[in-house]
Amino acid sequence: MTTPIDTPQTSEHVTIYATKWCPFCIRLVSALKVKGVPFEAWDVDKHEDLGEWVKSVNEGNRVVPTVLYSDGTHATNPSSDEVERKYEELAQS
């Protein structure tokens, strides 16, 4: 029996779990910076526990970027437009 992995705590509406070498991660982070969408980012290569959480929500695969939203939902490899829309929704509530 496996122990469920707790959802990481975050202080932002948007938290990105990524790696420094992933082109999709780099593109998402860059686009969100240009759009002015606030976010927190964590490198799953440096934080094994966060990498385990990413795997737990991606059928055992460490797929990056995985984005955690402050409402507890998440998205795997979302577009910057998708993240921006979700951020705006969360910031208004």
Q: What is the pLDDT of residue 76?
A: 97
Q: What is the pLDDT of residue 33?
A: 98
Instruction: Name residue, tokens 């593109």.
Output: 27
> Going by C-beta distance under 8 Å and a sequence separation of 6 or more, which residues neighbour residue 67?
14, 15, 16, 17, 28, 74, 75, 76, 78, 83
Q: In a 10 Å sphere around its CB, with 0-12 CB exposed, 13-18 middle and 19+ buried, how is residue 93 labelled?
A: exposed
Domains and CATH numbers, the chain: 14-92 (3.40.30.10)
Each residue's pLDDT tens digit, 34-82: 999 999 999 999 999 999 999 999 999 999 999 999 999 999 999 999 9
pTM: 0.92
pLDDT at 84 over 80: yes
Task: Tell me the chain's radius of gyration from C-alpha atoms.
Answer: 13
Q: What is the pLDDT of residue 4?
A: 58
Q: Which pLDDT band holds residue 32 (cuts at 50, 70, 90)?
A: very high
Each residue's pLDDT tens digit, 14-27: 999 999 999 999 99
pLDDT at 1 over 60: no
